[in-house]
């Protein structure tokens, strides 16, 4: 009897969790590129999926004075990056932020981020209904060499 009632509570909890997961944006495979002095900026990369669709409108981290969403563009035949206001998240599609493409730019970092460390990052996603949700992430710092290897095609 006791076991049964516990089980039914667990089931209810699971259903509630499933309901909120459906509405929530999820992030996987996040990481931050390690740095060497005197660098003051680095990139962060991740995969983000918004079940209902929306846009990534803000990023912040306590380790950097400024954090932005960047895109890569061709300028005078040179790849350059620039900040964008928001990044579109089509419903149910995984958007990948990766070296050479869209990325999070962390600038004004006092202490170079070393591999093995973790960086708290907060993302703000605005849904189609205008509602905002915040995602608290803890991203591992990976060595520069690993980032270079991932950049190869
Ligand atoms: Cu950038």
| Distance in Å, CA 127 to ligand 1 centroid | 24
| Distance in Å, CA 5 to ligand 1 centroid | 53
Look up the pTM and report it: 0.79
- pLDDT one-digit tens code per residue, 12-70: 444 444 444 456 899 999 999 999 888 999 999 999 999 999 999 999 999 999 999 99
Q: Is 3 helix (H, G, I), strand (E, B) or coil?
A: helix
Give the Cα separation of 38 and 71 in Å (integer).
24
| Distance in Å, CA 50 to ligand 1 centroid | 23
Q: Output the CA torsion sign for 64, 66, 71, 77.
A: negative
- pLDDT one-digit tens code per residue, 115-151: 999 999 999 999 988 999 999 999 999 997 654 555 4
Phi, psi of 25 (to 5 degrees): -80, 140
| Distance in Å, CA 71 to ligand 1 centroid | 7
């Amino acid at each position: 009897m006791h076991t049964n009632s516990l089980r039914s509570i667990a089931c209810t909890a699971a259903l509630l969790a499933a309901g909120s997961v459906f509405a929530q944006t999820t992030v996987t495979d996040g990481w931050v590129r390690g740095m060497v002095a005197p660098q003051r900026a680095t990139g962060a990369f991740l995969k983000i999926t918004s079940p209902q669709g929306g846009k990534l409108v803000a990023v912040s981290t306590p380790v950097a004075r400024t954090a932005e969403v960047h895109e890569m563009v061709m300028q005078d035949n040179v790849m350059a990056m620039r900040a964008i206001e928001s990044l579109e998240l089509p419903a149910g599609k995984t958007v990948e932020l990766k070296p050479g493409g869209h990325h999070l730019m962390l600038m004004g970092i006092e202490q170079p981020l070393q591999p093995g460390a973790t960086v708290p990052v907060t993302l703000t996603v605005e849904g189609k209904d205008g509602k905002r949700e915040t995602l608290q992430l803890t991203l591992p710092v990976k060595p520069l060499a690993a980032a270079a290897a991932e950049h190869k095609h």
